[in-house]
């Protein structure tokens, strides 16, 4: 990966969408990729030239990213993807914001584009059935459909579908253990059960179907494009979602109309905060919230205070502090 951007480049990113709405694009594709170093270098410099920020992950199993830029720059990057033989047909979702939710560009090579930690799982060749967002309601309304939310517990807590099982995981790595330790011990679960899974953008639930199929489950389905594509395609009258949808950037959550939601981020524990949390005596901006109060060491508190002071100074200068980004398993 290229070097981190200079201060002048960071300031350019902070201002890059002032004249027009910032386009946020989330995309992934499970596809065998070779020459990872060459692809990483190409992508890094193309994004840098286009003024695009965000994170792109590359692995032998594919590509996964969320980036932000102007409408034209995102369009140009998408066209570049379309011109690559193995990267055309990316599953991509768009949303808008008035400011840039990312302030650095990172293009990294990983073992997996979404970490499950299970050897032998190959989502490039073996996944469940894709369900179009317009067909999702019918599937999950069926009495015999087992609906599973494959996201982390803090995501589920601010919004999900009715009757969806919550594995209460802290990261996607814990999902296989939940399957073997909880799901497979449920009396109504068998290898022929109809199982429908979903996640934010489609990548985790797609990989989850690969894992279940590897364990012998036959009727496995996943929401194509995830919750964000469901929000995009399904009318408000037909939308069965309850709450908001957590996202892994400074917007924290999105409403059904894909506009930023009401939640904020605790920069100490990285958990989403409802408006009621902000009125708690256990909430102090940048230091702690009701969810993490009393769990940090004195050394951590000192570091948090220094960071909060830097963020406040950056805000006074009209720039966003780079340490304010969400850093969660996606």
User: Any idea which residues carry the catalytic annotation?
Assistant: 199
Alpha-carbon distance 254 to 16, whole Å? 22
* Among the listed residues 122, 119, 64, 113, the one whose alpha carbon sits nearest the alpha carbon of residue 93: 64
Give the separation between CA 275 and CA 289, rounded to whole angstroms. 12
Q: Are the beta carbons of 68 and 24 closer than 8 angstroms? A: yes
For residue 88, CA distances in Å to 31, 228, 318 come to 10, 20, 38
Q: Quote the crossing angle between the two packed helices 226-233 and 133-141, to the nearest 10°.
A: 100
∠ CA 263-98-278 to the nearest 5 degrees? 20
Place of tokens 């011109």: 83
Instruction: Locate 206 and state its tokens.
Output: 């797609």
> Please, what is the angle between helix 71-82 and helix 36-50, to 10°?
150
Distance CA 39, CA 44 (A): 8
Q: How far apart are CA 43 and CA 81, in angstroms?
A: 10
Running DSSP on this structure, what letter comes out for residue 322? G
Give the HSE-up count for residue 171: Cα atoms under 13 Å, Cβ half-sphere: 8
């Amino acid at each position: 990966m290229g070097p981190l951007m200079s201060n002048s480049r960071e300031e350019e990113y902070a201002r890059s969408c002032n004249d027009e709405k910032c386009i946020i694009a989330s995309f992934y594709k499970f596809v065998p990729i070779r020459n990872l170093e060459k692809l990483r270098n190409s992508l890094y410099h193309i994004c840098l030239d286009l003024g695009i920020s965000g994170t792109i992950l590359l692995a032998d199993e594919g590509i996964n990213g969320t980036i932000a830029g102007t409408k034209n720059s995102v369009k140009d990057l998408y066209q570049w993807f379309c011109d690559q033989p193995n990267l055309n047909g990316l599953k991509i979702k768009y949303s808008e914001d008035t400011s840039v939710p990312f302030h650095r560009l990172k293009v990294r090579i990983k073992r997996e584009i979404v970490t499950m930690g299970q050897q032998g799982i190959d989502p490039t060749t073996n996944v469940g059935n894709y369900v179009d967002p317009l067909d999702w309601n019918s599937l999950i309304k069926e009495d015999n459909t087992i609906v599973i939310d494959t996201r982390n517990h803090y995501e589920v807590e601010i919004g999900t579908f009715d009757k969806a099982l919550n594995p209460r995981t802290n990261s996607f790595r814990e999902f296989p253990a939940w399957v073997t330790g909880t799901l497979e011990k449920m009396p109504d679960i068998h290898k022929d059960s109809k199982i429908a899974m979903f996640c934010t953008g489609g990548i985790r639930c797609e990989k989850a179907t690969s894992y279940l199929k590897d364990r012998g489950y036959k009727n496995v389905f996943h929401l194509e494009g995830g919750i964000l594509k469901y929000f995009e395609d399904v009318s408000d009258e037909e939308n069965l979602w309850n709450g908001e949808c957590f996202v892994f950037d400074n917007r924290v959550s999105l409403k059904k109309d894909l506009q930023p939601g009401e939640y904020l981020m605790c920069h100490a524990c990285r958990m989403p905060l409802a408006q009621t949390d902000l009125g708690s005596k256990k909430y102090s901006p940048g230091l702690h919230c009701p969810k993490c109060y009393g769990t940090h060491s004195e050394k951590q508190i000192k570091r948090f205070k220094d960071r909060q002071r830097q963020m406040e100074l950056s805000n006074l200068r009209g720039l966003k502090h780079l340490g304010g980004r969400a850093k969660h398993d996606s």
